[in-house]
Amino acid sequence: MIARIWSGESPLWRLLLPLSWLYGLVSAVIRLSYQLGWQKAWRAPVPVVVVGNLTAGGNGKTPVVIWLVEQLQQRGIRVGVVSRGYGGKADRYPLVLTDRTSTAQAGDEPVLIHQRTGAPVAVSPLRSDAVKALLSAHDLQIIVTDDGLQHYKLARDREIVVIDGVRRFGNGWWLPAGPMRERASRLQSVDAVIVNGGVARPGRSRCNCVQGWRLTCLPANVAMSRLSRT
């Protein structure tokens, strides 16, 4: 039912429009408050790269995070990963993962990232706390955050958005009438966009960043191998 509503196939999405307008207004005010300095974002002493999305649901962020971490590691860059830890419940936060950390504690995706890459991983509802925990335990040069595009409490140096190439933006409306966390125009301010699956559109090139995933990479103003602050 939710898929039909979000795709526009079911007319029920119209009944949810008042809530969607409210969601969009609150989201816009939150982002604007950080842009204008009304609220202060915490900035880590090392560069932070956010891999996130504009829609609710899985879009393939975690495989992209794994690929990105592996690419940085191959270049000799010491990288750590932070996550909200959805699906897990730890006794206390922040939680720095070990080989014994279970998915019940940290969630499926953080455990998978740690197992696949061997990179230090920490989870916390407040991602800045997770970053601080990693930096206190490891000598890292860069932090990658799995999800968190809308978590403006953590300042970021680069933003990468992953889009589901099949579902894309559904009916284009904010939650709950549609799948959008932010409007599609938000893509104009990010550094890179990766479309997972679907057919490459004119002006976009097919790439194989993640084994088993069909990705389309759009031109971006960032080269991850040369990431630096200005």
Helix, coil or strand: residue 184: helix
Edge-to-edge strand list for the sheet holding 79-83? 95-96, 121-123, 79-83, 142-146, 48-52, 158-164, 192-196, 215-217, 205-207
Domain that holds residue 169: 2-226
Q: pTM, whole model, 2 decimals?
A: 0.85
pLDDT at 212: 47
The answer to whether 103 is annotated as binding is: no
The answer to whether 52 is annotated as binding is: no
Which has more confidence, 13 or 93?
93
The answer to whether 61 is annotated as binding is: yes
The answer to whether 165 is annotated as binding is: no
Q: Which CATH number characterizes residue 35's domain?
A: 3.40.50
Average pLDDT over residues 43-57: 94
Q: Report whether 147 contacts 62 (CB < 8 A).
A: no
The answer to whether 59 is annotated as binding is: yes
Per-residue pLDDT of 192-221, as tens digits, reads 888 887 665 565 555 555 444 444 444 333
Average pLDDT over residues 73-93: 94
Residue 41 is given by DSSP the state P
The answer to whether 37 is annotated as binding is: no
The answer to whether 55 is annotated as binding is: yes
Of residues 3, 31, 5, 7, the one with CA closest to residue 186: 31
Beta partners for residue 49, in sequence order: 144, 158
The H or E element that residue 32 is part of is helix 17-35
pLDDT tier for residue 13 given thresholds of 50, 70 and 90? confident
pLDDT at 223: 35
Average pLDDT over residues 101-109: 96
CA separation for the pair 191, 223 (Å, rounded):
9
- Measure CA 51 to chain center: 3
- 3-state SS, 134-169, equals HHHHCCCCEEEEECCCCCCCECCCEEEEEEECCCCC
The answer to whether 212 is annotated as binding is: no
pLDDT at 9: 79
CA separation for the pair 176, 122 (Å, rounded):
30
Q: How many domains does the chain have?
A: 1
User: Does the pLDDT at position 32 exceed 60?
Assistant: yes
User: Does the pLDDT at position 149 exceed 80?
Assistant: yes
